[in-house]
Structure formats: structure tokens, C-alpha cells
Amino acid sequence: QLAAHRSQLHVVPEGYADEQALLIEPVACAVHTALAAGVRENDRVLVSGAGSVGLFATLALRHLTPAGEITVVAKHGHQRELALELGATEVVTPGEVLRRVRRSTGAFQLEPELGSPYLLGGVDVAVDAVGSKQSLETALPATRAGGRVVMSGMPAAADLSAAWFRELGLVGSYASARREPGAGGRPAFEVATE
């Protein structure tokens, strides 16, 4: 049993299987993430992680924003296939992120004496859909100066110096919103159910 306020309850549409109904909540979180990303027309987007959070974020980014290229970082073959099916333009492994983003955006890769490599240029928006030190440190150096990084996974401790010296906008995204400004004020659950 679970106590919940009526505002937290949502009617499951007639004809939905239990498996479909169970996916509404995580898709609603992805709707919130995609809309919090502030993606503009033809922005290049990187999704770091291809678990359920990253895959649903990819789906929401493709269908709810005017994103251009969406690059997804995936470790496993089945994630690659699902990411492409859900709207990714390209899927890369963690080890090839900077090289592939550099090539697709025309950025330059810098190799500082202290610290990790990063791009001069890069994607406009990155979504950390894992929350690990590695995934956040994949998203930050691949994002252009002044770009935006959305932390959708529960973040672990990571080196945030790139956010400081490249003036990146860091945005947290947790759960879903009752009213999504980017969806005309409609609830994220309603958008996800559709």
C-alpha cells in the first residue's frame, strides 16, 4: 500500500497493458528532461547513457524539441539499436565520444597539460542520463562553451571545472512536472501518456 495525494494519481487509458502503464512515469520524467534542456532549432544534442533514462530522453528529445542531430553514448549493442529506433542520429561508445562529436561539429580537441581533453566547440546541449562520474565527465567536455548540460541521472561526485571555465549552464532534472511550460502548460504525465 502507498499513500498518495490525488494530484499524484493518473488515470491509465482504456486498453493500455500493464507494461505500457508502467512506462508512463519514466517517460514523463524524460518529457521533463527534454523540455528542461532548452533545445533550440537544429541544436546538436548529446545523450550520455543509453539505459532507460537515456533512451526515453532520446525519444522525448526527438519528438518534443526541434533538436537537429542527437548523438547517444551506448555501451552495448542492444542499446545502440534501441537508441537509433527511438530517434538518435548516431550512437557512439564512451571511448569515441570526443572524436565523433569533434568530427560532426567541426570542433577542435584541446589537450591541456593538467586535466582531461575537451572540445573547443562541441554539442549545444548534453544530457547526462546516468549520473556517474564518467558520464558527467563525458558530457561536460563535449559541450561547447556557453552550452547547456542537463543532469538527469542522480549525479556522483565529478570534476565540474569545465562548467566553471567554459561557462556551461548546468540544469538538474528530477521526476516530472505537473505543468510543463514547454508543453503548453500540460502535465508531463499527459504528454507521456500520448
pLDDT, one tens digit per residue, over 19-60 is 999 999 999 999 999 999 999 999 999 999 999 999 999 999
State the pTM of this model.
0.90
How high does pLDDT run on average in the chain? Answer: 91
- pLDDT of 142 reads 96
Chain centroid to CA 69? 13
Predicted pLDDT of residue 19: 94
- Cα atoms in the 13 Å half-sphere on the side-chain side of 181: 3
